[in-house]
Structure 1
Amino acid sequence: MSVVTSSLSGDQEKKLLSLFGHVRLSLLYKASVQGYTAAAFHARCNSQGPTLVAAYNKAGFLFGAYTSKDYTQNGQPINDDKAFLYSINDERKNPLRVSSANGQYGFTDENTGPNFGALVFLFNDTATVQYNAGNSYNFEAAHMHGDDLQLTECEVYRVEELGGCLTKTWRNMQWTSERKRQLKEKIKNYKPDVKSVSQARVLLVGPVGAGKSSFFNSVNSIFRGNMTSQAICGSAGTSLTTQFRTFTIKSGKSGEPIPLILCDTMGLEEASGAGLDMEDIVNIYKGHVQDRYQFNPMTPLSEDVPGYRKHVSLKDQIHCVVYVVDACRVSLMSAKIVEKFAAIRKKTNQIGIPQLVLMTKVDEACPLVSEDLQNVYMSHYIQRKVSRLTLECIPVSGILPVKNYSQELELNQNTDILILSALDQMLNYADSFFENQPEEEKEEL
């Protein structure tokens, strides 16, 4: 499965955003990948709230339509006084914006492609647009689409209101060099309250591309004092991590390992038989999977397979599970990925392992946070994303926004503090796991 990416150029996106207030565009549907059909469009765009159709042609026009209403296929005309058609091209400095003739009509909610009366996209399940002159929206065809109704691409974006800064932070955070020093020292000096365990083991679980491997590299960079890339990461459509890896982090290039092991796995994937298997997850939890075991998505690990650890103790088990999700994709996770998360949470609860959520890429999700990472707990948008992400048995207090290092060449204090704060919470949750173990399985120090 290839990665679905936007075809918008930087200039086109800037012009599109100028049609709105403070919003973010999230790609829902791309016809060249998912198909030039009404069924493919509705499967991904129904009940998604405000959306924007973006159609491309060889004449160099980007044109389409916006509605603030849901697509539901009810067969009725939908009134929407916020709806409009638009057109962008290189020769025009500002976008053309056209409201409906009566100021009320939005679109007709049929089992077709997006039908805005004057323009019907994906007409007859083809890469074309039907133009109906004088129908609902009035414009000159040459100005709207250059008389070219054959599409080279058609995309639909969710239009999400970002809001501004809150008047008060929704979580307190100290952004000082002293706080960074305190967190690093606390993590380096952590000691599990179980004599047989010297390092807490934290398992990272999440969809492909969520940032699990990047998080480890970021943690390693902080404690090494320079950028590192030990874990393989990237933007492929399938998991680049194909082995179970246990990463030890050293304080400095030749320093002692810190008392924390981060475990990385294959990413979760939509397709059945792809990505991490539930039986493999349970084996990882119980400590049966050895480092560098090569996952086989078609056949879970069993006792007779090399890489299976038969004799395990508390130190081999997972002490905290962290679900890694992309802040840009919180509202766009497929039903299959949500189902897989639910199944994993249920099994994790049964085994009794504490769980946290790591929300990555907060800077990409919100421009205010991109401008200044200290705005992460002032951002109305990030707060809303966190509240929507609240999973069963995981309260808001268990959701940790972070920014991984990706393009930087130098460490940043604010980035370090967010990541170190997340590590601190992981160790706190690991302590809860140790405290819940039967007394006969642990010895007090």
Structure 2
Amino acid sequence: MPKSSASLLKLLKHSIRIRIKVPQSIKNFTTSAAAGYSNSIPKEKVDCVVIGAGVVGIAIARELAFKGRQVLVLDSASTFGTATSSRNSEVIHAGIYYPPNSLKAVFCVKGREMMYSYCSEHGVPHKQLGKLIVATRDSEIPKLNELLIRGTENGVDGLRMIDNSEARRMEPELQCVKALLSPVSGIVDSHSLMLSLLGEAENMGTIFSYNTTVIGGHLEGNQIHLHIIGSKNLDSWNGGDTLHPELVLVPKFVVNSAGLAAVSLAKRLIGLDHGVIPSTYYARGCYFTLSKTKPPFTHLIYPIPEDGGLGVHVTLDLDGLVKFGPNVEWIGGISDISVFLNRFDYSVCPDKADRFYPEIRKYYPSLKDGSLEPGYAGIRTKLSGPRQMPADFVIQGEEVHRVPGLVNLFGIESPGLTSSMAISQHIASRLFV
């Protein structure tokens, strides 16, 4: 059940065996490091805090719990996985697109293997469909060859180039001049995956507290202090006024896995060198579904990657629903309150379908007018902006920011779902060698 910040205080008292007295009123809190904070605000020591209950945060919490740590997961939403983790293509990526030896390449390949194994062992719905990356004109073939070379260097098994006739035998509705076949790509029920990982974490003693926002923090010496507030108390915040925390946590270890809010949160940690915090960009992506009809494809179909994404591709869910997307819409002017509380416009305007039809018909010419219906939208946090080279994941530890026990995860976009278990293993090994 979701827990308010008041429930968090009770939960900490009874489950972590600490004693705190909740004050009748909270005095003004100044975010100045010199001013410190009011003695009337409860301050308690804990072991491990994971900020963010998306798929990566849940996987990290589970891994830390398996290492014997007491783990507290804080999330501003009313339940787990409400942002990027539940608004994506649900694809298990092979590891083709990413530069060799990059974190994305390494974690995607390892994470894919771990995910297939985990899903099979724990009954998480998934399917290894295979994927076709298609060149729809001759000028795209060199890029397809580059992807073949890159994927092979990354250790992706089974990749091979096929001509248009073989592609058509596999997918009669497909139009292309050549295609790259990736047999190890697949799909997963992301909600079931998160629920399974979360259940294991809870069974190992991990505590999940929802409706609980980390609004910042400060350093005393090299010890990080996290400022906590109930999410409902942010409803009227204008982004400029001083915030009044209800609790200060002093953890031994902190993993900032806040996803969309990770960079904004890091900037609100007073005493952390802001020079090591990367710029962040936000891209909105919409999905459209195919109206009730027999699915035209049995494989995932991807065009050549585009600026900021992998192109408007075809994915299928485990019920056979066909989805097209996402597109890339760069958005700006994002406030801290928007990212802390996931206040984004997730509506899908039906008129946007007009831009999808010509993109889809490059590889699916039989798509009929009026057959696309609005689906859903998601927001991606990115460390590279329009017309910039794609950035790698950033997993930032003490060797960079000089704060013991703090790990920041920045830019965990695609293939974050596929990489989640590999990332969690990496984090645990970094914190507890």
Instruction: Please say which structure displays the higher CA radius of gyration.
Output: 1
TM-score exceeds 0.5: no
TM-score interval (norm. to shorter): under 0.3
So what's the TM-score if we normalise by structure 1? 0.25
Higher relative contact order, structure no. (Cα contacts within 8 Å, ≥ 6 residues apart): 2
So what's the TM-score if we normalise by structure 2? 0.26
Structure number with higher strand proportion: 2
